[in-house]
Structure 1
Amino acid sequence: MDPHDDEEMAKIQKELETNGSAAAAAKIQTYLDEQDNIQLNIAITGESGSGKSSFVNAFRGIHNRDKERAAPTGVTETTTDPTPYPHPNHPNVTLWDLPGIGTTKFPADEYLKKVEFERFDFFIIISADRFRENDVKLAQEIQKMKKKFYFVHSKIDHNIRDEEETQGSEFNEEETLKEIREDCIQGKSEVRWIFTNSPQVFLVASRKLHLYDFPLLEKTLEEELPAHKKHVLLLALPNVSLEIIIKKKEALQARIKYRASLSALGAAVPVPGLSFDADMVMIAATIRQYQVTFGLDSASLQRLAQTAGLPLDELRAVMSSPLAGKEINKDLIIKVLCSSVTFVSLTAAEEGSRFIPFFGIPAAMTLSFVSTYTTLNMFLNMLADDSQKVFKKALVNTPVIS
């Protein structure tokens, strides 16, 4: 268990002992709400035409042609002011498309001040070819401010395509990628110095995030963020590898004990049926959150189908859980659970135990905890499995088209 979780559970236990079940339940709910609303602000910057907007869109799972939600793209500078683009499923995560470095309105030596650097958790500096003097100046200033930054070489798929056409049968992708990495940091001594003293260059194709270095960038960001921000980033990351889906599952799983504790505390109220109704509402809301985090809600699947160039029905066809393609609500959850012998038995035992003198309520609380914990784990496993199947269909077995 995470040490922070140990500390939080100890606080909840103390609240229960001091002020009772209602106060402990309120404390749990406050904690969960706070975790869901932690803000993460990511700055995407670089020279004009480097592919900043395409990266912002890809990270958020938005196609460049989505006129309502996409950051505008083009061969010339399309961003004139710092522009926020909230994540469609996790609005507490915002990617900021910043103006190009060194423009008239945002000269390099005043850049950080003008874009209000304090509000950003970290910077991603993007270039479509070599990193320039302005990129290095920005990185040096970010270092002085004790913020994290990461270099991303965008449009790598274009580079690979061009080299393959030029070299023909002699083309070697691994060697080409190595040469591109080395070429990124050639030039002035200041450029070489900053790369000697900073993380590697991540080679990324915004239209094919599952390829090249984006999974490695995801892993690096996740490892270097503070723990409370790490959880927020992880849930918002695009599903570009099976590993990230597994990590999302683990992160969501770590929160189940809090939901189950809420259920147990609700069972302390000696009113038959009340705990069950409250649990079903809470479980349905939690599973909807799981569905969105794994990108399995209708809106997310439609965006993925557009990006992958696949009919939506083909993505839905690979999903096998009883939740596939359905709107999550209390009635659906109850229908699925009624086919589970374990759930029916636990629920019946919980309700029956209420009538046992002295020991009935504690027994009901224990059974409620076990029932909710088991139920949420079951649905989480279902959705994680569906997410992996959709990922393989959309991004592994099918070429991504622009």
Structure 2
Amino acid sequence: MLRAIFQAAIAAADPALSLKPHLPAPGKGRNIVIGAGKAASSMAAALEAAWPDVALEGVVVTRYGHKTPTQKITVLEAAHPVPDEAGESAARRIMAAVQNLQPEDQVIALISGGASALLTLPAPGLTLEDKKLVNKALLASGAPISTMNRIRTQLSAVKGGKLAAACAPAKLVTLAISDVPGDSPAIIGSGPTWYEGADYRMIATPMMALEAAAKKAAMPYKILGDALEGESAELGREMAALALRETGPMLLLSGGETTVTIGSGKPGRGGRNTEFLLSLAIALNGAKNISALAGDTDGIDGTEDAAGAIITPDTLARGRALGLDATQFLNSHDSYSYFKALGDLVMTGPTMTNVNDIRAILIN
């Protein structure tokens, strides 16, 4: 059931289903497509399918391994979460694609989570190496995504509406998949095409995914919010206390993006979802009627190859049988290794979309 709930949340954010209803009419002049993010390629493919007879051109950039086939729109790949030279080259090609446009032209911007790192063009006076160092420091700091993206905007020649300005005088329409708390257009991908009064259309959000997950479960549920933040381990303890007060059957759903503050020590392997789950399991201490899944809807928890993991009432007992100390793994930020040893990782591969994390706690 937990796996089915998670898959329903991912399916709700599939551009193949969610993009077409939000499209404008084709432009009278050129129709140029630009974009960036983990879902940029699948969004481009969905746009081509929706407009088979429209002459489309343009370029988008996505994360390595997230490319899908397209016929008219060029798809480039670059690094995430720390930017690389391919991301800088892609940003320059995207900026070049919107030069010398006319009022009758239309630009469709496809923006999704991950765009901030993938669309990287240093501001004057800065280098790509400067941006890499800042990104690495931010990722280890425990700062919320909204803070990280505000800082990234100040260091960029394309974020914070600068890409939108380059599209003038053409009409600009942005189709976005939100992966940030509050769905703020200025925060999604650091807002490259956002400005006050922009034509900005949300085609998928974390709340849509949570509602789809609740519908799939077909049981009593509570959505605790789509914008939960804070330390992953602390949220695990808070959710355990909440779950222990509930009587089943009940499904507790939540979304948002927590953080893991690494500190000065060398971390193990893991992402915010597996860290949350290991903390949750320790706090539940084998409660017999509670299981949970937490995963990133893009299929990648942090930088690992797992979307997340599942815990069951015997998670700690099975770990002890293998000689594993759950608390030690949590303290060393090595939650991925713990769940891998138990065979409890959730492996989806790249999902080609991203509406942030989904956490489901099942009380029966």
TM score, norm. by length of structure 2: 0.30
Larger radius of gyration: 1
Q: Which has the higher strand share?
A: 2
Indicate the structure whose relative CO is greater, using CA pairs within 8 Å and at least 6 residues apart.
2
Q: Which has the higher helix share?
A: 1
